Amino acid sequence: MLIKDNDKTQISENGRSRMLTEADVTDESVYRRRRKLLKGMGFIGASGLLWANGIGGISRAKAASFKTTAINVVKSNADSVSDTLTPESKVISHNNFYEFGAQKHEPAENAQDFKVDPWSLTVSGEVEKPFTLDYQQLFTLFDLEERIYRLRCVEAWSMVVPWLGFELGKLIKRAQPTSKAKYVAFKTLYDPDQMPGQSSRFLGGGIEYPYVEGLRIDEAMNPLSLLSVGLYGKTLPPQNGAPIRLVVPWKYGFKSIKSIVEITLTEKRPPTTWNMLAPNEYGFFANVNPEVDHPRWSQASERRITSGGLFTRNRIKTQMFNGYAEQVANLYRGMDLTKQY
């Protein structure tokens, strides 16, 4: 399903145009508090200002060169939602992908020369049959289907995205996990030559690279957990995690790791990037929960990015597990989600 939208990623102020930034769509208070955290750690300063202004080898006016291609999918509406889709133009221009820059507009600008073919995705660890997939196999190993999911960012904004992909559980089953496999660890590509945000902790928002994430194996095997290779009927743009990314719709967006090169089944809980950076703010589970606030802002509501203007405040209440409680609440029975957040 393709949605056309005439909104632009540039806005005009006093007769001058500028690119859409994080502050334009994220609530200003949330934006400033999260930036204050990184600044307090010493990761945003003069170099960050140079980065934002396109100095240091990155031009903000760089033209898009990455080409996406159409994907044939087996349509499936079993897990879709009826919410209004976020326009494709916003999905591909409003991104958190610090490997390409810490500002919302930077990934779309700085990732256009990203090379996704050749690509290798390895599945290993506590499995009987480890294997490696190449670029073409990402699209041919399993039937691809469309899943329309809500995406809820920890920064209290949200989207509704038509992803294309296959269930993570199918990939795990193919590797035949052993009885020791309790967790699933993920790793993003590490390539500073292509991902300029990885070349400096200042330019990359203070994150230790490569980016890593993890799930319990029962979370990974849940039918909602998706490995996405496309959106809006086409292959993923690099700013959205090309060529393959994770989508876990009942968790905050930072759990949905992008540009994956390694999936490892482990016996022990793996480290995860944002939890290592600020463990009191970004828990391992990171389930969407309106009753548990982020230490620096409320999670009771969110700004839904829809087809309205850039400054439309479409504020809605946040749902427990992002509206997927019926499918996933049983995974956390007996847990105190105010402590195991």
Interatomic CA distance for residues 230 and 247, integer angstroms: 11
CB 71 within 8 A of CB 139: yes
pTM of the model: 0.82
Place of tokens 């469309």: 146
69 burial (CB, 10 Å; 0-12 / 13-18 / 19+) is exposed
Query: What amino acid occupies position 335?
Result: M
Beta-carbon contacts of 45 under 8 Å, excluding residues fewer than 6 positions away, are: 39, 202
Beta-carbon contacts of 334 under 8 Å, excluding residues fewer than 6 positions away, are: none
Q: What is the pLDDT along the chain (341 residues), one digit of tens a residue?
A: 333 333 333 333 333 333 334 344 445 444 445 445 554 544 433 333 333 333 333 344 454 589 999 998 887 665 678 899 999 999 999 999 999 999 999 999 999 999 999 999 999 999 999 999 999 999 999 999 999 999 999 999 999 999 999 999 999 999 999 999 999 999 999 999 999 999 876 667 788 999 999 999 999 999 999 999 999 999 999 999 999 999 999 999 999 999 999 999 999 999 999 999 999 999 999 999 999 999 999 999 999 998 655 455 689 999 999 999 999 999 999 999 999 99
Q: Which residue segments constitute the domains of the chain, with CATH numbers given?
A: 22-332 (3.90.420.10)
CB 222 within 8 A of CB 331: yes
Supply the DSSP symbol for 294. B
313 burial (CB, 10 Å; 0-12 / 13-18 / 19+) is exposed
Which tokens go with 29?
Answer: 């208070």
CB 168 within 8 A of CB 245: no
